[in-house]
Amino acid sequence: MNCRDIAELAPLYLSRELPADELREFERHLGRCRSCALEIDQEASIDARLRAAVGDEMPETATLNRAVITRIDAVSVRRRQFIGVAAAVLLLTAGGAAWWSAHEGSTPRPYTRLYTDAARDHQLEVVEHQPRRWRSGAAGIETLAARYGLPARAAATLGPAGFRLQQAKICGLEGRPVLHLVYTNGAREVSLYLRRNDAQDRSDLHEAVLGREYVDTFRTDRFVAVIVAQGSRADCRQFSRSAAVALQ
């Protein structure tokens, strides 16, 4: 083997895929060529740095897992076609058998994607505070709210006593723009997502629990609303009632 062969075969060497005879030749060359040995050392060092940087990351997946199961639930009307398939894949899923048993006979739920999108958005933007362009001044929030058909000063009065409007922006749920309002009582934050009920949708609405997010929804003739609160079903319900009354 020459230096060119070493450069070419380095990826297979580093992933331990070289056959025994080639491995012996490869290492023999490294033993007598300082330049190639240094190259391989540096590549191994880069790999170790990358593994240390990426390999130790611990992404939180509870919300994501719930969202996936909810979406599977939504398409479960087709489960008869896939019953053997689904049983197999659920075996790959921790707790899959229990979920299957609990959801046997369920019908597809409307707004499923709306719930999961809202729960994820709240988790990322409100709980984890990913950087976003929020409007926090009263005038800026009023301008956004007016675009969604809210009467003047209505946004500030949608929450129950003790909650004040903190910030607002436009975000996307189900691929459609919605008004995202965030309220706080000083200790906890609640998201209210609002869009016009253009289609005069009459589908049933539900409560949902997605990971640590409690999600509630209501609909008036003019609006479809989704409320998300982390860790507190009481906050979610109280907020939902208050906003529903204010928007009637």
Binding site for another protein (CB under 8 A): 7-8, 10-12, 14-17, 38, 41-43, 45-47, 49-61, 64-65, 67-68, 71-72, 75, 82, 84-86, 88-89, 92-94, 116, 120-121, 124, 128-131
Integer distance in angstroms from the first to the last C-alpha of the chain?
Answer: 80
In the complex, least distance from residue 56 CB atom to another protein, rounded to whole angstroms: 4
Rg of the Cα atoms in the chain: 27
The residue (of 14 and 156) whose beta carbon lies closer to another protein is 14
The residue (of 100 and 223) whose beta carbon lies closer to another protein is 100
Closest by CA position to 118, among listed 108, 126, 110: 126
In the complex, least distance from residue 35 CB atom to another protein, rounded to whole angstroms: 12
The residue (of 63 and 217) whose beta carbon lies closer to another protein is 63
Cβ burial of 202 (10 Å; 0-12, 13-18, 19+) is exposed
Closest by CA position to 106, among listed 72, 73, 69, 67: 73
Which tokens is 31 given?
Answer: 């033993």
In the complex, least distance from residue 109 CB atom to another protein, rounded to whole angstroms: 15
The residue (of 8 and 201) whose beta carbon lies closer to another protein is 8
